[in-house]
Amino acid sequence: MNELNWIIEPLTLLAQGLSLFTVLTAVLYLLQRLVFSLMSANLGGKSVYISAVIGTPVHELSHALACILFTHKIKKIVFFNPDGHGTLGYVNHSYNSLNPWQVLGNFFIGIAPLFGGLLVVYLLTLLLLPDGDSLLKLLALSSQSNLTDYSFSAAVELMHNLWVVLLTNYQREPLTVLLWFYLSASVSLHLSPSPEDLKGGFSGFLCFLLLIISGHLCSSYFDVPYLDYLSLQHLGSRLNPIAVLYLICIVLALTLFIVMLLIKGFLLLIRS
C-alpha cells in the first residue's frame, strides 16, 4: 500500500479540494435537467429556447475562448442554431494529439462553460442588481469553508439570506431585478457541460491527473515557493470562493423549478 501513497495522497487531496465545487455543480445540473423536463412537458420543447438564446452563446463562447488559450484550431463556431435534435450550438475544433498542452486543453475546453457562465452571472450581479455588492459579500462570508463544514440547516439559512437580499433589491428596482433574473437564469440553465463536452475531454482529464500527481510530488520533495502556493493543500481555499457563487445559480434554477411545478399543477387542475 505504501507504494501507492504517491498516487493516493494527491488524488485524495484533489477530491477534498473539489468536494464543495463538485457538489454544487451537481446540484445545479440536476435542477437544470428538472427545469428543462418540466418546461418541455408544460410549455413544449421549444420553450427551452427562451433561455437558450442567451445561455447557449455564453456556453459556446466559453468553449471558444478555452480553445484559444490552449492553442486549438477553431474550425467553426455556431453560437445558437437549434437543429431540432437537441443541439443548440457548437464549436468545432482540432488539435495536435502529440502536443501535451493541447491534449490537456481538451479537459478545460470541455468544462469551460462552468467558469465562463459563472463569470457572466457574477458580472450581471455586480452591474445590474442595485445592491449586488451585498449579495456577493454574503457569499464571500461562506467561501472559506470546506464541504464538511456545511450542514443542511446552514445551507438553508444561506439560501434564505440570498432570497432576502434579492427581494430587497426587487422592492427597490423591480424591472432591473427581473432583467437580471432572466439573463442570469438563462446563463445558469446552460452552463453545465454536455455529455459530448465531457466525453471529448477524457484524454485531457487523464493528462490533468498526471499533472496533478507530478506537481504534488515536486512540491513535496523540492522547496520551491510557487509550487507550494499551487499545491493541492490550498486547492479548496482557492476554489471555494468560486464554488459558492453557484448558490446564485442554484437559487435561480430552484425558483424556476418551483414555478414549473406550479404551472404543471395548474394545468392538471384545468384538465381535470
Q: What is the pLDDT of residues 105-140, one digit of tens each?
A: 999 999 999 999 999 999 999 888 887 777 777 777
Does the structure show a pLDDT above 80 at 156?
A: no
In this structure, of 51-65, 107-121, 241-255, the range with the lowest mean pLDDT score is 241-255
Does the structure show a pLDDT above 90 at 23?
A: no
Does the structure show a pLDDT above 50 at 1?
A: no
> Distance from CA of residue 102 to its chain's centroid?
22
H or E, element range at 105: helix 100-128
Task: Look at 4 and 95; give whichever has higher pLDDT.
Answer: 95
Residue 39 to residue 256: CA distance in whole angstroms = 9
The phi-psi region of residue 104 (left if phi > 0; otherwise alpha if psi is between -120 and 50; otherwise beta) is alpha
Arithmetic mean of pLDDT, 251-269: 88
Does the structure show a pLDDT above 60 at 150?
A: no
Residue 73 to residue 60: CA distance in whole angstroms = 15
Arithmetic mean of pLDDT, 263-272: 84
Residue 66 to residue 225: CA distance in whole angstroms = 28
Question: How large a percentage of the chain has pLDDT more than 90?
Answer: 31
pTM: 0.84
Phi and psi torsions of 270, nearest 5°: -65, -45
Arithmetic mean of pLDDT, 52-66: 94
Does the structure show a pLDDT above 90 at 208?
A: no
Does the structure show a pLDDT above 80 at 254?
A: yes
Residue 267 to residue 272: CA distance in whole angstroms = 9
Arithmetic mean of pLDDT, 6-18: 67
The pLDDT-based confidence of 178 (bands split at 50, 70, 90) is: very high
Residue 114 to residue 192: CA distance in whole angstroms = 6
Does the structure show a pLDDT above 50 at 74?
A: yes
pLDDT of residue 51: 92
